[in-house]
Amino acid sequence: MTAVNSILVYGGSLDGWMAAALLARSLPLTVTVLDTQPQESGVEATLPAITGFHHRLGLNERALIDNGIATPTLATHYRASDSWVPFEAPGFTLDGLPFHHYAVYGHLNGRLEAAFDAFSLPAQAARRQRYHPQSNDAGSLLATLNSGLQLDRDRYRSVIMALAKELGVHRRTGALLKVERAGDDVESLLLEDGERLSAELFVDADGALMSDAQKEQTERLASAEGFAVERLVAPQTEVACPCTRVTQREEGWELERGTAACVERLRLGAEDSPSEFGRYCPTPWMGNTLAVGQAAGELEAFVTGPLHWLQTAVVRLLDAFPASTDWRATRAEYNRRTLLEWRDRQAFFELHLYLAAHSQGASDVWRQRWHKVDNPELLRWLTLFQTAGLVASRELQALPDALRVSLLLGHQLWPQACDPQVSAREPAAVAHELAKMRQMIDRAATQLPPYP
């Protein structure tokens, strides 16, 4: 049993520096980054949880926005259906029943008179290119302005790197010659200059430290077959939007995010060469080496990018950070929770296959892809929602069910029934409530300041 006194983070990407900064900020340990100095550009999209990470790091998020490094994201614009998907559920709970039941009821009666996103202030603000920071006052409508960020990867990496150094992270440069192993453990990293680096725990933000056993276990999601990723980065030619965009194409999607300086278009298209897309390692922590971020798995999640999953991985590690290398149960629990998170990411990706296959004029390609999805948990969830309007109870949601509901209703995939406690009401009374709510949100949205 050896005390854990030092961590070596392999890889100088944003992932690596973010992991190092969070670890150094939270633990009284030596953290070193072996900086492989990768070139990174483009735009990273995150969920609202980024604000919590920034708070944890002691980083001023306002300054990032003011300096043009970050653009807030209020919603994701799905262009094919022209629906705006906010991070939180639209509407308000009425009499203890989730809002979507009222919207479904209105729809079933032909009295909804508006899209589901008309009941979300962040969605309406994004649609109008308006923005206001979220209010802390829980009673205020502005408290619903929950936002993620679009981050200029290169400039943001510099900020995180500088912060990490301030927090005492050591930076080492050099090229890796050999990974020296003893069983499942990495003993040391031999560099080309002859030096050996060693630590009790290696955090692999690059993939180069993965053992043969981990590589053998690595799987590829069957439903992701047929997709490859192409990343295009270009200078920004318009003003940045407080939203990200998803465009459905004949055989794939294009995800667009942007900051004041640049725009990234990520194309998930038909594969013509071997692709990393949908690859994941079910045991990211093996021996003394923990693969994080894109090293542990790659799967685009539409409303967020890989940085979010790097952050949840590091926080999962930090929640139960082992004081010693007698860590068998801790490691098993980390891997178990990571796999649960992965299954949730997988389901979210597969939900998009469902949306595409059920969109108007969907090609056979999309329908065949959806037919190949073998996910009983997702099917059970969809059946319950589509037939009865009920959201199945789930815990540890990596991507909240509010997103699923907004996506389905935004794509006009309405349930066939709603809660009987709602349908017992007078349709006109419910329609009146809905209209009132919609007007209030509409008025609030037009009063917000324009962005930027």
The residue ranges that bind other proteins (CB under 8 A) are: 4, 26-29, 56, 96, 318-324, 326-330, 332-333, 337, 380, 383-384, 387-390, 392-393, 395-396, 416-421, 423-424
Min dist. Cβ of residue 341 to other proteins (A)? 12
**Strand 243-248 with 253-258, pairing:** antiparallel
- How wide is the angle at C-alpha 182 spanned by C-alphas 180 and 185, nearest 5°? 90
What distance in Å separates the CA atoms of residue 36 and residue 13, rounded to the nearest whole number?
A: 8
Give the SS3 label for residue 223: helix
Q: Can you say whether the dihedral through the CA atoms of 28, 32, 33, 35 is positive or negative? A: positive
Min dist. Cβ of residue 398 to other proteins (A)? 13
Q: Can you say whether the dihedral through the CA atoms of 141, 239, 256, 364 is positive or negative? A: positive
Nearer to other proteins among residue 322 and residue 427 (C-beta):
322
Tokens of 210: 């993965």
Min dist. Cβ of residue 323 to other proteins (A)? 5
Q: What is the CA radius of gyration of the chain?
A: 23
What distance in Å separates the CA atoms of residue 322 and residue 318, rounded to the nearest whole number?
A: 8
Provide the b/e sequence for 302-318 (b: ≥16 CB within 10 Å): bbbbbbbbbbbbbebbe
Angle between helices 328-357 and 401-410 (to 10 degrees): 10
Nearer to other proteins among residue 194 and residue 420 (C-beta):
420
Min dist. Cβ of residue 386 to other proteins (A)? 9
> Around 355, how many Cα atoms within 13 Å sit in the side-chain half-sphere?
28
Q: Give the other-Cβ count within 10 Å of 325's Cβ.
A: 16
Nearer to other proteins among residue 255 and residue 382 (C-beta):
382
What distance in Å separates the CA atoms of residue 391 and residue 382, rounded to the nearest whole number?
A: 9
Nearer to other proteins among residue 196 and residue 380 (C-beta):
380
Nearer to other proteins among residue 2 and residue 273 (C-beta):
2
Min dist. Cβ of residue 310 to other proteins (A)? 18
Nearer to other proteins among residue 4 and residue 241 (C-beta):
4
Nearer to other proteins among residue 180 and residue 326 (C-beta):
326
> Around 313, how many Cα atoms within 13 Å sit in the side-chain half-sphere?
28
Min dist. Cβ of residue 272 to other proteins (A)? 40
Min dist. Cβ of residue 410 to other proteins (A)? 22
For residue 220, report the phi and psi dihedrals to the nearest 5 degrees: -120, 130
Min dist. Cβ of residue 234 to other proteins (A)? 39
- CB within 8 Å of 115: residues ≥ 6 apart: 82, 83, 410
Nearer to other proteins among residue 337 and residue 358 (C-beta):
337
Min dist. Cβ of residue 339 to other proteins (A)? 14
Q: Can you say whether the dihedral through the CA atoms of 164, 168, 174, 179 is positive or negative? A: negative
Nearer to other proteins among residue 123 and residue 382 (C-beta):
382
Min dist. Cβ of residue 164 to other proteins (A)? 17
Min dist. Cβ of residue 48 to other proteins (A)? 19
Give the SS3 label for residue 191: strand
Bridge partners for 32 per DSSP: 8, 170
Tokens of 423: 């349908």
Bridge partners for 232 per DSSP: 265
What distance in Å separates the CA atoms of residue 111 and residue 388, rounded to the nearest whole number?
A: 19
Nearer to other proteins among residue 286 and residue 418 (C-beta):
418
Nearer to other proteins among residue 177 and residue 315 (C-beta):
315
Residues 244/76, Cβ–Cβ less than 8 Å: yes
